[in-house]
């Protein structure tokens, strides 16, 4: 029961992460290109993205270490896991790349906050968020380079 609930929340929150990330990239790109002032709305959108990403990571780590039957079975025989695409994806690839994307997003947000010019702040936020979002999109199980999972869970 807890596994299914966490999986539904993890699935739903990915859409929040994707939409917020796209908004951050759009707003910061437009601000960077048009040399506009970094406004509270830019900061708030970036905070929604970072907060959703942090919550998504927390849910993912709970699934990974506590609730997921995929990872618990995979941990029991790592040699077999590494030779099988689906368990390897969830046990190693998905987790590792998503944590790297999380770190990149945080580094970008932190650097943007410290930037002394609005244009530089917008450029940093746009660049780091785009890199993080590309990594996230690659690792979402849409069936492009990994196993397809449902787009929406109920």
The predicted pLDDT at position 83 comes to: 94
Residue 58 in any domain: the answer is yes
Domain count, the chain: 1
Domain assignment of residue 21, yes or no = yes
pLDDT at residue number 154: 63
In a domain, 145, yes or no: no
What burial letters (b/e) apply to 50-66, b meaning 16+ CB within 10 Å? Answer: bebbeebbebbebbbee
Identify the pLDDT of residue 85.
87
Other residues' Cβ atoms within 10 Å of the Cβ of residue 2: 10
Residue 122 within a domain: yes
Whole-structure pTM value:
0.91
Domain residues for the domain of 6 are 2-139
Question: What is the spatial distance between Cα 99 and Cα 103, in angstroms, rounded to a whole number?
Answer: 6
**Residue 149: inside a domain:** no
Residue-level pLDDT at 143:
66
The DSSP output letter for 83 is T
Q: What is the pLDDT of residue 121?
A: 97
Instruction: Extract the residue ranges of the chain whose pLDDT is less than 70.
Output: 143, 148, 150, 153-154
Residue 71 included in any domain = yes
Residue 151 lies in a domain: no
- With respect to residue 125, please indicate whether it lies within any of the assigned structural domains: yes
């Amino acid at each position: 029961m807890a596994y299914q609930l966490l999986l539904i929340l993890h699935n739903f929150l990915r859409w929040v992460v994707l939409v917020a990330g796209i908004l951050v990239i759009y707003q910061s790109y437009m601000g960077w290109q048009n040399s506009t002032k970094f406004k509270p709305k830019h900061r708030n959108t970036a905070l929604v993205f970072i907060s959703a990403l942090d919550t998504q990571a927390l849910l993912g780590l709970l699934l990974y270490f506590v609730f997921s039957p995929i990872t618990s079975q995979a941990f029991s025989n790592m040699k077999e896991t590494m030779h099988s695409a689906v368990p390897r994806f969830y046990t190693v690839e998905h987790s590792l790349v998503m944590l790297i994307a999380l770190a990149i997003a945080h580094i970008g947000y932190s650097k943007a906050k410290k930037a002394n010019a609005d244009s530089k702040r917008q450029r940093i936020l746009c660049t780091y968020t785009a890199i993080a979002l590309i990594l996230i999109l690659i690792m979402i199980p849409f069936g492009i380079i990994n196993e397809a999972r449902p787009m929406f869970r109920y």
